[in-house]
Amino acid sequence: MTDFSELMDVFSIPRPAGSKAERQVLASVTAWLEQKGIPYRLQPFRLYPYFFILTGLWLIFSRSLLALAFSLRWGEPTFTIAILSLAGGLLDVAFNLPIITWPGAVNGSNLIIEFKPEAPQQELILSAHYDSKTELLDHHQRSFFVKNLPLGILLTVLVGVLGSLDRSLMDQGSAWAPVVYILGLLLSLVLLFLAWGVGLNLSLGRLRKHPSQGAVDNGTACAILLGLAERMHQGEPTLKTTHLTLALFDGEEVNMQGSRAYVRQREWCLPARAVNLEIMAQDGDYVYWEQDGTSLRLVPTSAEVNQLIAQAVLEVTGSIAHPVGPVNSDGYSFLQAGIPASTLGTYSTIWQDRGFHLPSDNLERVVMRRLPEAVAILENIISQVDQHSLK
């Protein structure tokens, strides 16, 4: 029987990506695996731990410079600043090109545990992330700014265009110049509000006096996967057709860097499915998210994987897993690669899906009896998949 209290002691300390605390957590986990005799491997990748801090600072600096350029009527350079402002953020967030987020890069590590039958016909990946994050606002509080991200992009372009137009009209002595200038100033103020709101939330979280413990996001999910690993190592359940991979990803809280690296670096020789775990072992209903992605793009999760999750939850607990969404998780990395995936989680009866990346994500939210229950749900999913070859 897995000692989940021992594991949750490991996974209930602040452990931002790339930090000394995160490395200590990884060392504790590998020591635990070695003590149990469970084989594992580490997959290295280049981690940019200050991804969102630098993105936040870039938003504040670049949009403030843009507003200053417009107010001082720099003319055409205002449009250039607008384009560079957009490129610096979008290339990093949407295309994973570290244009502004490269400072402070370190070596990150995904922890991979595998169980294989002699002749596997398919693969099932069960994943979670072991890093944590602290912000000024939780998911719902920051949603206002996230939902208005397209507006921020539009405003950046408009202020740049109006900056060039205003200077041209002013040089021509046009009566429209004051109108364009006043309009641009008003749009600049709205843009500054959005940029500073997002930027401060992203960049100042690590300065909070009481950071998030990351106990639920995503410590419980990691403990569950390790409990499952111990069961699999003991031969329960046995695998007939399925290559089972348990993955603890680094860097999820900094734009899913670990899962992206995992999907990108490995070869996919077998048909595969993925079930990602988030915010497990709370006291409310089991849920699965119908959409996954980023603030720029959401995609549907796999209906087939959602059915596997729903059936397993029903058979193990007698309750119904509810579809909710959207979510921003490691499951998106698999969906981007064309691998059917979805994410399983729980809600809190008090918090629902709120209060994460804040001090409210602590060990008190964890319902310990639900950790072995979740292991049983995953074993049910494994059995379902193992009995039916995936095409």
Single residue among 179, 206, 233 that ends a domain in this structure? 206
The per-residue pLDDT for 389 is: 67
What are the tokens at 109?
A: 């590590």
Identify the burial level of 381 via C-beta atoms within 10 angstroms of its C-beta, where 0-12 means exposed, 13-18 middle and 19 or more buried. buried
Residue type, 247: A
Closest to 282 in 3D by CA, of 340, 347, 209:
347
* Same structural domain, 148 and 252: no
Q: How far is CA 72 from its chain centroid?
A: 39
* pLDDT score at 207: 86
Are 218 and 337 members of one domain? Answer: yes
Out of 172, 206, 240, pick the residue that ends a domain.
206
pLDDT of 321? 98
The answer to whether 146 touches 328, Cβ cutoff 8 Å, is no
265, amino acid identity:
Q
pLDDT at residue 85, as a whole number: 96
In order of 143, 279, 280, the CA distances from 276 in angstroms are: 22, 10, 11
Element (H, E) at 277: strand 272-277
Q: Give me the pLDDT at residue 24, please.
A: 98
**Residues composing the chain:** 391
Task: Tell me which residue range forms the domain holding 282.
Answer: 4-48+106-134+209-387
Residues 214 and 271 in one domain: yes
Residues of the chain with pLDDT under 70: 389-391
CATH number of the domain within which 252 lies: 3.40.630.10
Position 13 scores a pLDDT of: 97
Rounded to the nearest 5°, which phi and psi values hold at 338? 80, 15
How many domains are contained in the chain? 2
Do 344 and 242 belong together in one domain? yes
- pLDDT for the residue 146: 82
Q: Are residues 61 and 180 in the same domain?
A: yes
Asked whether residue 11 falls in the same domain as residue 124, the answer is: yes
pLDDT for 236 equals 81
Same domain, 262 and 185: no
- Give how far Cα 297 sits from Cα of 320, 328, 357, Å: 28, 10, 22
Do 300 and 312 belong to one domain?
A: yes
